[in-house]
């Protein structure tokens, strides 16, 4: 079980993550969804103990990632956005190196690496140099290193970026195959992919949680009845005013006119089907309806709605930021630079450079 309680991260005045509370349990794949700069990597970096939090708490099966980091980190396999692999090692050498770092008992190493190579489809590639592998296979090596030590929790930061559609399908299948014994959190921009493999979705915008629900519930709850497209003959302005005046309607947009037939997209104030109200009002004006259709909302629409709605309301909220009190510092929890096994990882290098300036 992972729980995040009121997790906040500030970089100077910039609030990257604010008051994030969520929980995750075994056997499920969770999707962390958000636009660029939403705070996905920052959240994952705090969850894995790479960086400290300004305030709040992360518990990994009861262990605090900041105060009991050894025990908590031992249960996490992390794949950062750029896989932390050494290109001049063979796959097998590298996985052995990681097993060594993770203190996997010597007797178990061979069997564990064999099993993970098989799980990740790397058996045939295990004696090849990593630099000679395709991006998809390098990504598999990244996942394989995260699986070493059999951690219950897998945190994967945009693991499918740069993969082709076949590689993405294979990679996702891999996650589905192993999900039973793990808690898997993946971040992604690819909404369809999140929809396809995740059981539960956390949407974040500007570091805040804007939606948190099961994929099934989100799609069934939001699909189908919010927008109606109607093509109708009549006076454009009169019809527009009449539709806008309906209490069940929040917005009407004019899409165009052809031979006196106007097309409108009518949005309801809530999620109910407004075809009856729309048809009644247009009928009472003797305006013949040529076509009417419910427009299904995709996950992408929901996401855009949530982000835009959040941005509209955000301004009032900004002043609150000043009240956040620093409880923990990056310095205390930062990954030790000279012992960093992933020191070639650009993201961590960038992080270290940036915090150096801040200090």
Q: Which residues of the shown chain bind ligand ATP in the complex (CB under 6 A)? A: 11, 14, 16, 34, 36-42, 351, 354
CA separation for the pair 309, 211 (Å, rounded): 11
Residue spans of beta strands (DSSP E) within 181-288: 183-188, 200-205, 208-214, 227-233, 249-258, 261-268
Report the nearest approach of ligand ATP to the CB of residue 60 (Å): 20
Q: Which is nearer to ligand ATP, 264 or 351 (CB)?
A: 351
What are the φ and ψ backbone dihedral angles of 150, each rounded to 5 degrees? 50, 50
Report the nearest approach of ligand ATP to the CB of residue 42 (Å): 3
Q: Is residue 261 a contact partner of residue 243, using CB atoms and an 8 Å limit?
A: no
Q: Which is nearer to ligand ATP, 27 or 37 (CB)?
A: 37
Report the nearest approach of ligand ATP to the CB of residue 313 (Å): 19
**Per-residue b or e along 30-68, where b marks 16 or more CB atoms closer than 10 Å to that residue's CB:** bbbbbeeebbbbbbbbbbbbbbbbbbbbbbbbebebbee
Report the nearest approach of ligand ATP to the CB of residue 37 (Å): 4
Any idea which residue has 């969770």 for tokens? 30
Report the nearest approach of ligand ATP to the CB of residue 23 (Å): 20
Q: Which is nearer to ligand ATP, 208 or 226 (CB)?
A: 208
Q: Which is nearer to ligand ATP, 14 or 71 (CB)?
A: 14
Report the nearest approach of ligand ATP to the CB of residue 219 (Å): 23
Distance between start and end Cα atoms, the chain = 34
Report the nearest approach of ligand ATP to the CB of residue 207 (Å): 7
User: Length of the chain in residues, anyone?
Assistant: 359
Q: Which is nearer to ligand ATP, 155 or 282 (CB)?
A: 155
Residue 320's CB is within 10 A of a number of other CB atoms, namely 11
Residue 350, sorted as left (phi over 0), alpha (psi -120 to 50) or beta, turns out to be: alpha
Q: Which is nearer to ligand ATP, 78 or 351 (CB)?
A: 351
Tokens of 310: 């959040």
Report the nearest approach of ligand ATP to the CB of residue 84 (Å): 16
Strands 2-11 and 55-60: antiparallel
Report the nearest approach of ligand ATP to the CB of residue 169 (Å): 22
Q: Is 12 helix (H, G, I), strand (E, B) or coil?
A: coil
* CA-CA-CA-CA torsion sign (164, 342, 327, 15): negative
Tokens of 110: 């061979």
Q: Which is nearer to ligand ATP, 180 or 356 (CB)?
A: 356
Strands 76-79 and 28-33: unpaired
Q: Which is nearer to ligand ATP, 168 or 252 (CB)?
A: 168
Q: Which is nearer to ligand ATP, 54 or 172 (CB)?
A: 54
List the one residue out of 159, 149, 230, 180 whose CA is nearest residue 28.
180
């Amino acid at each position: 079980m992972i729980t995040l309680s009121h997790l906040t991260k500030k970089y100077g005045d910039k609030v990257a993550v604010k008051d994030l509370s969520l929980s995750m349990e075994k056997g499920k794949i969770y999707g962390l969804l958000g636009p660029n700069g939403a705070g996905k990597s920052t959240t994952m970096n705090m969850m894995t103990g790479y960086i400290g939090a300004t305030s709040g708490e992360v518990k990994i099966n009861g262990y605090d990632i900041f105060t009991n980091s050894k025990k908590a980190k031992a249960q996490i396999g992390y794949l950062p956005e750029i896989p932390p692999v050494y290109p001049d090692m063979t796959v097998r050498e590298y996985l052995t190196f990681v097993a060594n770092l993770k203190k996997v008992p010597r007797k178990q190493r061979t069997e564990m690496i064999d099993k993970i190579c098989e799980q990740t489809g790397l058996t045939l590639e295990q004696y090849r140099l990593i630099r000679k592998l395709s991006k998809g296979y390098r990504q598999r090596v990244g996942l394989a290193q995260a699986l070493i030590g059999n951690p219950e929790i897998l945190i994967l930061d945009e693991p499918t970026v740069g993969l082709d559609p076949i590689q993405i399908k294979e990679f996702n299948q891999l996650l589905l195959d192993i999900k039973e014994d793990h808690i898997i959190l993946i971040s992604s921009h690819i909404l369809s992919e999140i929809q396809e493999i995740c059981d539960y979705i956390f949407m974040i915008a500007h570091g805040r949680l804007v939606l948190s629900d099961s994929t099934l519930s989100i799609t069934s709850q939001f699909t189908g009845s919010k927008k109606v497209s109607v093509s109708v003959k009549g006076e454009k302005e009169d019809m527009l005013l009449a539709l806008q005046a309906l209490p069940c309607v929040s917005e009407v947009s004019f899409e165009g006119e052809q031979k006196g037939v106007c097309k409108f997209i009518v949005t309801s104030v809530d999620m109910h089907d407004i075809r009856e109200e729309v048809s009644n009002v247009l009928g009472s004006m003797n305006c013949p309806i040529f076509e009417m259709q419910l427009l299904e909302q995709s996950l992408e629409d929901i996401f855009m709605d949530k982000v835009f709605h959040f941005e509209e309301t955000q301004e009032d909220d900004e002043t609150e930021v000043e009240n956040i009190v620093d409880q923990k510092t990056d310095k205390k929890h930062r990954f030790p630079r000279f012992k960093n096994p992933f020191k070639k990882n650009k993201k961590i290098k960038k992080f270290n450079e940036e915090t150096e300036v801040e200090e």
